[in-house]
Amino acid sequence: MSCEKGFKAIIDEAEWQMQFNSETLAAFIDTLSAQPSHYYRAMLTYFDHGECWRGATRFFHADSLPYWRKRKNMGHKPAAVEALRRGELHYFFAYPEDYSQQSIEWVDGEFGRRPHNPAFEVVYVYSQKDGTLDLNFRSMTPDEILNELLERLGSMRIVTRLRLFEDESLI
């Protein structure tokens, strides 16, 4: 977060968080701009403007992801989804369940296998203006994950989140 990308992510989230108070937003941006480095800007945001930190870190993470695809016609199955808005873009950080696995480990002096259900991260960026949905993921091969993901995630949950964004009274 202590770099140019991090500073941009902080400003983008502040614009959303402070959208109804332009004086507060302007003062915040002026204060950050007056800091001697991106490190100070990041720390000031973390300590004094926590409402901007969570979204900014998620945007910074999304900006750092290397592989994106546009995708239409998604299936549907539930997954944990975090929704954030950045200007006119809607970001969705989805965490569908991956295949069940077992880990070999020692627990209380006993050797054994412990089953667990890991999740993997998929980031969507929806542009209503452009009518596009960008998709970023890491895991299986692109073809494998697209087929699996489209079955598991689905557009129903994302469409529900978009409706929440579009209805300003719900925000």
- Overall average pLDDT of the 161-169 stretch: 53
pTM over 0.85: no
Look at residues 68, 69, 73, 70 and name the one whose alpha carbon lies nearest to residue 151: 73
CA dist., res. 164 & res. 155, Å (int): 14
Query: Could you give the CA distance from residue 108 to residue 106 in angstroms, rounded to a whole number?
Result: 7
For 109, phi then psi, to 5°, come to 80, 5
Are the CB atoms for 12 and 86 separated by under 8 Å?
yes
How many percent of the chain have pLDDT more than 70?
71
Q: Are residues 52 and 114 in the same domain?
A: no
User: Cα(125)–Cα(86) distance, rounded to whole angstroms?
Assistant: 10
As a residue count, the chain comes to: 171
Q: CA-to-CA distance for 1 and 29, rounded, in angstroms? A: 16
Provide the residue range defining the domain that includes 82.
Answer: 68-170
- Does one domain contain both 98 and 15? no
In this prediction, residue 171 has a pLDDT band, given cuts at 50, 70 and 90, of very low
- Say yes or no to pLDDT of 156 above 50: no
User: Are the C-beta atoms of 72 and 124 separated by less than 8 Å?
Assistant: no
Checking if the pLDDT of 101 tops 60, the result is yes
Residues 164 and 87 in one domain: yes
| Residue 100 sits in the same domain as residue 153 | yes
Instruction: Check pLDDT > 50 for residue 62.
Output: yes
Same domain, 84 and 164: yes
- Are 55 and 104 members of one domain? no
